[in-house]
Amino acid sequence: ATGLRDLAAAKGVYFGTAATVGEWNDATYKALGAREANMLTPGNEMKWDTTEPNPGQFNFGPADSLVASAAAANQRVRGHTLVWHSQAPSWVQNLGASDLRQAMLNHINTEVTHYKGKLYSWDVVNEAFNDDGTRRQSFWEQKLGDGYIADAFRATHAVDPGAKLYYNDYNTDGIGAKSDAVYAMVKSFKQQGVPIDGVGLQAHLILGQVPSSMQQNIQRFVDLGVEVAITELDVRMNTPATPDKLATQATDYATVANACLTVTGCVGITTWGLSDKYSWIPSTFPGQGAALPFDENFQSKPAYDSLVKAYGGT
């Protein structure tokens, strides 16, 4: 059977999933990923707590194994993520300003060099804004000030000019205070010549609550001269799932997929996993789940049929 990846390729876009090394140990799941996805995002393995757990001590083994299995499955890779306040070791969080700046640049230089030429893109900076559009007061912001984001993009571009450099965030899917702030930042980066190529809309959504302005939001970013990707799509519900909820979820998936795929410049959609068996939702939002296109037994859900249709299949 044809998977989403083949439909996506025929349209000149991609369909991707996130996965961890542990999840890919499940051979059935890995085979599903190979059938459906032509883009892979390592779920945890490229984050700072894995790649540089101690100062200057780098560990690329787990991510290398995902990059190798992606190559074997003819999948491209989205690098995720270089500068984030979460899943960062405490030694980084505890540095003073000038040491932190040095650590950031050294981390970027080393990790981006390691993967130079092998990645489609980097999520250079992740989740730097609050929902009200102000800057998140992370240890990055508190110690380095607003300029760290542009510095991280410049440093990444200097090492791997071939990778698309993304700013990635959640609750930026529709037009609102947070996406307005990201829009203003991207616009000023473009004016100043800061190298940015893309904006990632995570799209961690709640059943029945897809923002109605999503397509308009995607379009305005594309009009600024960057590409857009849906980078972490899932649509969570209170469990258990019922036929009614699954039907609503299918509508939600269709809305998101069409919002992207009708805009030239929205390059692809990644779901944050494929199967409800492997999802971050139930542990983070107790009582919620069933957020992905395949159920816990790897059977496709109505949401999957929506993706097929949006990608031009039947």
Active-site amino acid positions = 232
Tell me which residues in 110-169 interact with ligand G3I (CB under 6 A).
126
Closer CB to ligand G3I, residue 141 or residue 276?
Answer: 276
43 binds ligand G3I (CB under 6 A): yes
Cβ of residue 55: shortest distance to ligand G3I, in angstroms? 23
283 binds ligand G3I (CB under 6 A): yes
Cβ of residue 169: shortest distance to ligand G3I, in angstroms? 8
234 binds ligand G3I (CB under 6 A): no
From CA 224, how far away is CA 257, in angstroms rounded?
Answer: 21
Task: State the residue for tokens 């799209």.
Answer: 203
Residues in Cβ contact with 283 at an 8 Å cutoff, skipping those fewer than 6 apart: none
Element (H, E) at 121: strand 121-126
Closer CB to ligand G3I, residue 19 or residue 308?
Answer: 19
Residues in Cβ contact with 21 at an 8 Å cutoff, skipping those fewer than 6 apart: 45, 62, 65, 66
Task: State the residue for tokens 């270089």.
Answer: 82
24 binds ligand G3I (CB under 6 A): no
By CB under 6 A, the count of residues binding ligand G3I is: 9
280 binds ligand G3I (CB under 6 A): yes
Q: How many CB atoms lie within 10 A of CB 304?
A: 20
Exposure b/e, 100-133, CB count within 10 A at least 16 = b: bbebbeebbeebbebbeebbbbbbbbbbbbeeeb
Burial of 26 (0-12, 13-18, 19+ CB in 10 A): middle
Q: Which of 11, 20, 95, 300 binds ligand G3I (CB under 6 A)?
A: 20
Supply 124's token pair.
């250079």
Cβ of residue 154: shortest distance to ligand G3I, in angstroms? 23
Q: How many CB atoms lie within 10 A of CB 219?
A: 17
Closer CB to ligand G3I, residue 18 or residue 267?
Answer: 18
Peptide bond into 161 cis (omega under 30): no
Cβ of residue 121: shortest distance to ligand G3I, in angstroms? 14
- Maximum pairwise Cα distance, the chain: 56
219 binds ligand G3I (CB under 6 A): no
Query: In this structure, what DSSP letter does residue 24 have?
Result: H
Residue nearest to ligand G3I (CB): 43
45 binds ligand G3I (CB under 6 A): no
Q: Which of 202, 215, 249, 275 binds ligand G3I (CB under 6 A)?
A: 202
Closer CB to ligand G3I, residue 42 or residue 211?
Answer: 42
How does DSSP assign 195-233, residue by residue?
Answer: ---EEEE--EEETT---TTHHHHHHHHHHTT-EEEEEEE
Cβ of residue 47: shortest distance to ligand G3I, in angstroms? 7
Query: In this structure, what DSSP letter does residue 300 have?
Result: B
Supply 111's token pair.
């990790």
Closer CB to ligand G3I, residue 18 or residue 229?
Answer: 18
Q: Which of 4, 8, 33, 44 binds ligand G3I (CB under 6 A)?
A: 44
Closer CB to ligand G3I, residue 49 or residue 180?
Answer: 49
Binding site for ligand G3I (CB under 6 A): 18, 20, 43-44, 126, 202, 232, 280, 283
